Amino acid sequence: MKKVVIDAGHGGADPGTSGNGIIEKDYNLKISKYMSDRLNELGIENTLVRDKDETLSPSDRVNRIKSIYGTGKDVILISNHLNSGGGDGAEIIYALRNNDTLSKKIADNMLLAGQNVRKYFQRRLPSNPSKDYYFIIRDTLNNESILMEYGFVDSNKDDVNQIKNNYEGLAEAVVKSLAEYIGVPYKAPSGSIENYYTVKSGDTLWNIASKYGLTVNKLKELNNLSTNLISVGQKLIVSENASNIDEPSNNLVHIVQKGDTLYSIAKLYNTTVDKIKKLNNLSSNTLQINQKLIINDNASSTPQTNLFTYNVVKDDNLYNIAKKYNTTVSELKNINNLKTDVLQIGQKIQIPIIGNTKVYYVEKGDTLYSISRKFNTTVTDIVNLNNLISSNLSIGQKLLIP
């Protein structure tokens, strides 16, 4: 079986590119560690070139790669990077000595993860077009080497959000591609991008079902569809494991009926069309009969339970998280389907926020200071309640306001 070497580009005194609160070397390492953990779960042998923030010269990096599994064709090298230059989207560069089979798989799965792909390609050294442009590809001999650029840190579109909030999903796209390419059965992590698919232009139920190994009838059954009609932006369940992941019982859910419109539904529940579209990841106003919609019921006079995504940090445990958010360990385990009390740094868990705590969606031009002034609170209180590790915000981000 092929083995995988995972290279977190840059490191130590070489930070790589940076922008919008993103330092490339840090995210390269996050992506690489996630990838390694997932490959271990799937039984694919792999090794990290670096597992900490350290400086490696080009020759040191290449020598370390060679020393891991050798220079044979049974080794796949994935070198993880972020881009700069104002573009938007992922780029996948593969070696002149290899074909595009693996790169194309990565591109396809990256699109399913929600990231647009600029291109997958080979790049030649201008001074010697018979050689690869990048040393990490050029100097790793017979290995099947690929350099990944997951997005642009200075993009004016959605790359910054993709890098900050979906880097695991992007890494998972590469993991899935490696499993398919190597021939190892792939199993998506619980609650992953593989549970849902957002309909794109040109999609049909048949091609979506084919991508996920389903029949059209099964896909319709999972999504309560009575016809074959789908609309761009519609979110479809593509795995039976997804039954309740984004639809907790304490959220109000509306089943679309004949004659319903987003306006009539919003009016019925005393909310807005924009909030319903945000909650359900809709890019158009088109609805399908029997489609399930999560309703933003914060405007209701009855206190509701909101779910807030919390990122586990060092020294966290279920007890101190429960205490901070006025809930119980039992409730946290029940909501997140946890079988043990063990948490991992970076793990995402859902926190129930009960009562009059306000949920605010970040808008263009917002800062933590302006939001704190708007709601007569402090930046510190917002940071603490939302477990923020930086002051950077993204449009549409969900914040709890104390």
To the nearest 10 degrees (0 to 180), the angle between helices 24-42 and 159-182 is 30
pLDDT tens for each residue of 175-206? 999 999 999 998 877 544 456 677 777 778 88
Average pLDDT over residues 275-283: 76
CA distance 239 to 214: 9
Per-residue pLDDT at 347: 84
Task: Report the percent of the chain where pLDDT is more than 90.
Answer: 42
Per-residue pLDDT at 354: 54
pLDDT tens for each residue of 241-273? 554 434 444 456 666 766 677 877 777 666 788
Per-residue pLDDT at 300: 38
Query: Of the ranges 9-18, 277-286, 334-343, which is most confident?
Result: 9-18
More confident residue, 84 or 262: 84
CA distance 331 to 351: 9
Pairing of strands 252-255, 292-295: antiparallel
CA distance 290 to 304: 24
Per-residue pLDDT at 241: 55
Per-residue pLDDT at 190: 54
Q: Which residue bears the tokens 């933003």? A: 296
Question: Is 307's pLDDT higher than 70?
Answer: no
Query: pLDDT-based confidence at 102, cuts 50/70/90?
Result: very high
Give the number of other CB atoms < 10 A from CB of residue 59: 10
> What mean pLDDT, rounded, does the chain reach?
82
Beta-bridge partner residues of 91: 119, 149
Select from 306, 316, 309 the least CA-distant residue to 275.
306
More confident residue, 278 or 145: 145
Per-residue pLDDT at 250: 44
Return the half-sphere exposure (C-beta side, CA atoms, 13 A cut-off) of residue 209.
15
Query: Of the ranges 283-287, 335-339, 340-344, 396-400, which is most confident?
Result: 340-344
Question: Is 79's pLDDT higher than 60?
Answer: yes
List Cβ neighbours of 253 (8 Å cut-off, separation of 6 or more): 247, 292, 293, 294, 295
Per-residue pLDDT at 237: 78
CA distance 78 to 142: 14
More confident residue, 230 or 160: 160
Per-residue pLDDT at 391: 77
Q: Which residue bears the tokens 């998972």? A: 172
Region for 390 from its dihedrals, namely left if φ exceeds 0, alpha if ψ lies in -120 to 50, beta otherwise: beta
More confident residue, 29 or 116: 29
More confident residue, 54 or 298: 54
Per-residue pLDDT at 357: 64
Question: Is 281's pLDDT higher than 80?
Answer: no
Question: Is 75's pLDDT higher than 80?
Answer: yes
Per-residue pLDDT at 247: 42
Question: Is 156's pLDDT higher than 70?
Answer: yes
Sign for the CA dihedral angle at 318, 322, 323, 324 comes to positive
Question: Is 164's pLDDT higher than 50?
Answer: yes
Query: pLDDT-based confidence at 232, cuts 50/70/90?
Result: low
Select from 295, 298, 236 the least CA-distant residue to 260.
295
Per-residue pLDDT at 296: 56
Average pLDDT over residues 81-106: 96
In degrees, rounded to 5, the angle at the alpha carbon of residue 47 between the alpha carbons of residues 145 and 349 is 110
Domains and CATH numbers, the chain: 3-182 (3.40.630.40), 193-295 (3.10.350.10), 304-401 (3.10.350.10)
Return the half-sphere exposure (C-beta side, CA atoms, 13 A cut-off) of residue 61.
26
Per-residue pLDDT at 40: 94
pLDDT tens for each residue of 323-363? 777 777 777 787 777 777 788 887 888 777 655 566 777 77
More confident residue, 285 or 62: 62
* Helix/strand/coil (H/E/C) assignment for every residue in the chain: CCEEEEEECCECCECCCEECCEEHHHHHHHHHHHHHHHHHHHCCCEEECCCCCCCCCHHHHHHHHHHHHCCCCCEEEEEEEEECCCCCCEEEEECCCCCCHHHHHHHHHHHHCCCCEEEEECCEECCEEEEECCHHHHCCCCCEEEEEEEEECCCCCCHHHHHHHHHHHHHHHHHHHHHHHHCCCCCCCCCCHHHEEECCCCCCHHHHHHHCCCCHHHHHHHCCCCCCCCCCCCEEECCHHHCCCCCCCCCEEEECCCCCCHHHHHHHCCCCHHHHHHHCCCCCCCCCCCCEEEECCCCCCCCEEEEEEEECCCCCCHHHHHHHCCCCHHHHHHHHCCCCCCCCCCCEEEEEEEECCEEEECCCCCCHHHHHHHCCCCHHHHHHHHCCCCCCCCCCCEEEEC
pLDDT tens for each residue of 38-49? 999 999 999 999
